[in-house]
């Protein structure tokens, strides 16, 4: 299949970089990579479709056969929005272990709370030399690789991006609409000592990948905790009362934006305390509407034109269970370890815990639960380097 002949990238968008648009022709000359995509919804379908259109051999692992019955039956995905075309997949299966066998890159656009389980599932099928890429990770590369080691898996490296490659939502049983395409994918690797070799095949998929110091550096570039916790919890009334609500258009009045930006500064303070010097990608640049973000410059008009986020959500959405339970829980535990104040992270942790009747400070992705609380900052950085 020469899928690139059937894909149209909308080049007028500020969100699609020149590198992203021209890379597919290079993939075709090389024959493309063998890619396994493991997921449960929007992000996995978007990734599988886009990568297949760009000439890669894509096998898609989906957990819900009933929900995606048409994709299972036809092995095709229709892409709409910033990427358009009909993508043909090499395979679609609900057996994730079979999907990863022989893949050059295993792409995992799953929520952070599913990473350990997926790692245990695919561990027997992985071979040395394969690369796993979590999009994003929320420090999941550490969780994933440690789970692989416990399961006796082959020695594979795990990378994680700071953000999703796509902002997307399913638009039909076998179609997905893409509203954002990343023009920057800061990425860390665990172990960091093997960053160059690990990122080489990933760059075949996403030339916009940019290396950062290590897995935690990348995990702390994911500002979704600062973005989504205020957008959801400060808009609780509208979310519960309305049939649909676009948190990115209707949920960010100036008061919410101020809280989000202040919360994000806690994240940046943690990165600084750990000695990370790569660009911090402040949330403030997103809300300025003129600053460069992971997806380029996103003006209000652009967001209104390309938004795919009008939907019915609840407080068990991954905006809370992942971005608070994994993201803010990690920030809070790092703050306690480093002596960096995280009062807003702590407040949203407590609020979300009360709303969902779950103590995220106890059950979440903390240094204590990761087995890292006993390490000093310097020892932690060394562990992340050596694995």
The pLDDT of residue 304: 78
Cβ atoms < 10 Å from Cβ of 367: 19
At the top level of CATH, which class does the domain 3-219 belong to?
alpha beta
Cβ proximity of 174 and 315 under 8 Å: no
Of the chain, the percentage scoring pLDDT greater than 70 comes to 92
What is the sign, positive or negative, of the torsion defined by CA atoms of 174, 79, 77, 112? negative
Q: Rg for the chain (alpha carbons), in Å?
A: 20
Q: Do domains 3-219 and 224-386 have the same CATH topology?
A: no
Distances from the Cα of 344 to the Cαs of 12, 21, 97, 269, 282, in angstroms?
39, 39, 40, 13, 16
User: What is the mean predicted confidence (pLDDT) over 310-320?
Assistant: 92
pLDDT higher than threshold 50 for residue 185: yes
User: What is the mean predicted confidence (pLDDT) over 178-201?
Assistant: 97
Domain assignments of the chain as residue spans, ordered by start: 3-219, 224-386
User: What is the mean predicted confidence (pLDDT) over 354-366?
Assistant: 97
Q: Which of 160, 138, 175, 171 is nearest to 206 (CA)?
A: 160
User: What is the mean predicted confidence (pLDDT) over 236-253?
Assistant: 92
CATH number corresponding to 224-386: 1.10.1040.10
The pLDDT of residue 111: 93
The dihedral region occupied by 280, where left means phi > 0, alpha psi between -120 and 50, and beta the remainder, is alpha
pLDDT higher than threshold 60 for residue 186: yes
pTM of the model: 0.89
User: What is the mean predicted confidence (pLDDT) over 24-47?
Assistant: 76
pLDDT higher than threshold 60 for residue 271: yes
Sheet of 209-211: strands edge to edge?
91-93, 57-62, 34-39, 105-108, 131-134, 157-161, 185-190, 209-211
User: Is residue 336 very low, low, confident or very high in pLDDT (cuts 50, 70, 90)?
Assistant: very high
Which residue bears the tokens 């090389």? Answer: 30
User: What is the mean predicted confidence (pLDDT) over 11-35?
Assistant: 45
**CA dist., res. 119 & res. 247, Å (int):** 32
pLDDT higher than threshold 80 for residue 23: no
- 253 φ/ψ angles, rounded to the nearest 5 degrees: -65, 170
Cβ proximity of 205 and 107 under 8 Å: yes
User: What is the mean predicted confidence (pLDDT) over 359-371?
Assistant: 97
């Amino acid at each position: 299949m020469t899928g690139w002949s059937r894909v149209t990238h909308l080049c007028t968008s500020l969100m699609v970089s020149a590198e992203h648009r021209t890379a597919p022709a290079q993939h075709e000359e090389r024959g493309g990579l063998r890619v396994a995509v493991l997921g449960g919804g929007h992000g996995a379908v978007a990734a599988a479709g886009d990568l297949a259109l760009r000439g890669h051999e894509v096998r898609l692992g989906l957990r819900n056969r009933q929900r995606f019955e048409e994709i299972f039956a036809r092995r095709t995905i229709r892409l709409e929005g910033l990427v358009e075309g009909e993508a043909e997949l090499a395979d679609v299966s609900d057996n994730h272990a079979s999907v990863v066998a022989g893949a050059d890159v295993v792409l995992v656009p799953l929520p952070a709370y599913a990473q350990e389980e997926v790692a245990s599932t695919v561990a027997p099928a992985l071979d040395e030399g394969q690369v796993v890429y979590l999009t994003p990770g929320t420090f999941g590369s550490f969780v994933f690789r440690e789970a692989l080691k416990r399961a006796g898996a082959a020695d594979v490296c795990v990378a994680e991006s700071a953000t999703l490659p796509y902002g997307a939502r399913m638009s039909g049983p076998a179609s997905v609409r893409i509203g954002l395409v990343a023009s920057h994918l800061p990425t860390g690797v665990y172990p960091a000592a093997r960053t160059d070799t690990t990122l080489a095949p990933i760059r075949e998929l996403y030339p916009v990948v940019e290396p950062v110091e290590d897995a935690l550096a990348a995990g702390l570039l994911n500002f979704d905790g600062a973005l989504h916790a205020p957008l959801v919890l400060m808009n609780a009334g509208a979310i519960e009362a309305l049939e649909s609500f676009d948190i990115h258009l209707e949920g960010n009045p100036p008061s919410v934006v101020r809280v989000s930006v202040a919360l994000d500064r806690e994240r940046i303070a943690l990165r600084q305390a750990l000695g990370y010097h790569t660009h911090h990608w402040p949330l403030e640049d997103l809300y300025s509407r003129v600053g460069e973000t992971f997806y380029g410059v996103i003006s209000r008009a652009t967001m209104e034109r390309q938004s795919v986020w009008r939907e019915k959500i609840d407080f068990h959405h991954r905006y809370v269970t992942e971005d608070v339970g994994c993201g803010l829980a990690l920030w809070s535990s790092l703050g306690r370890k480093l002596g960096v104040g995280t009062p807003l992270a702590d407040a949203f942790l407590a609020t979300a815990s009360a709303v969902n009747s779950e103590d995220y400070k106890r059950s979440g992705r903390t240094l204590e639960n990761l087995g890292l609380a006993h390490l000093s900052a310097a020892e932690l950085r060394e562990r992340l380097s050596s694995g």
